[in-house]
């Protein structure tokens, strides 16, 4: 599949913010080249490997990550070939993979998944979450995912399903997401498992360290910002509730071609 003409992509993109070490595109480009090398046999698996490393490479606040110009520039100028490589399941890669909402755009969705599903500096929940495409395609869109205990409790349920060898993980994730969304709001779940405020100083310190930080490791997980973690007690209180919701949730089977198209 051909990559879109670079000249046309540059005209529709915006420059990155003021020059800083953390905005260097070379480390990102190296990551993407390695992902394409490692996962040529199964492109979908690249998401779980790339998401935590992209997040640890592009160190920024949520406010900065909400600026779509950054993601457009990466997709249209720095690595349009990666976007085509990763999302070429259909005959034409949809435009929203280049420029679209944070839960759809090729790079934004991975960064935001890492941001929402990490437990402080621990990226292991991110690997689990991004290993199931329906978490990225469905769960990431839910407003309640902004509540960290909820996001991590969903991953805890997913870990149990994986450990038990359950089939149709994607269908079960969609059923769980729908049940959680219908059962309550962020305010309800925050009563059951209060979300602590992020340590802004720790986050900013981690961002500032990017000036001298080495490239992220490829064969082990990097460390995220130590800006606050969710306790196992809070996770368990929501996990038990979510397990019960999943038990009663109707699980719908999608046509095989529909699941493939969403990758």
Compute the half-sphere exposure of residue 139: CA atoms within 13 Å on the CB side of its CA.
Answer: 34
Q: Encode pLDDT of 186-205 as tens digits.
A: 889 999 999 999 999 999 99
- Would the pTM count as exceeding 0.85? yes
Span 115-141, average pLDDT: 98
Q: Encode pLDDT of 223-240 as tens digits.
A: 999 999 999 999 999 999
Q: For position 27, what pLDDT does the model report? A: 95
Q: Encode pLDDT of 205-217 as tens digits.
A: 999 999 889 999 9
Residue 147 has pLDDT above 60, yes or no: yes
* SS3 category, 215: coil
Q: Encode pLDDT of 148-175 as tens digits.
A: 999 999 999 999 999 999 999 999 999 9
Helices 46-57 and 26-38, packing angle to 10 deg: 170
């Amino acid at each position: 599949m051909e990559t879109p003409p670079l000249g046309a992509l540059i005209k529709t993109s915006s420059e990155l913010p003021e020059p800083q070490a953390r905005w260097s595109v070379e480390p990102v480009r190296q990551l993407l080249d390695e992902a394409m090398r490692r996962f040529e046999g199964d492109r979908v698996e690249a998401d779980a490997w790339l998401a935590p490393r992209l997040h640890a490479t592009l160190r920024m606040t949520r406010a900065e990550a909400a600026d779509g110009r950054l993601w457009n520039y990466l997709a249209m100028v720095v690595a349009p070939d990666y976007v085509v490589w990763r999302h070429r399941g259909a005959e034409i890669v949809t435009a929203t993979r280049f420029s679209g909402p944070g839960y759809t755009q090729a790079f934004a969705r991975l960064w935001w998944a890492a941001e929402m599903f990490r437990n402080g500096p621990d990226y292991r929940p991110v690997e689990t979450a991004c290993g199931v495409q329906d978490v990225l395609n469905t769960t990431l869109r839910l407003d309640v995912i902004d509540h960290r205990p909820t996001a991590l409790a969903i991953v805890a349920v997913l870990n149990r399903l994986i450990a038990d060898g359950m089939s149709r993980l994607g269908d079960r994730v969609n059923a769980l997401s729908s049940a959680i969304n219908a059962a309550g709001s962020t305010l309800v779940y925050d009563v059951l498992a209060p979300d602590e405020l992020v340590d802004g100083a720790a986050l900013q310190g981690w961002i500032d360290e990017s000036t001298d930080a080495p490239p992220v490791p490829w064969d082990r997980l990097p460390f995220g910002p130590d800006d606050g973690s969710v306790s196992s007690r809070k996770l368990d209180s929501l996990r038990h509730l979510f397990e019960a919701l999943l038990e009663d949730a109707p699980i719908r089977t999608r046509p095989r071609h529909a699941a493939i198209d969403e990758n």
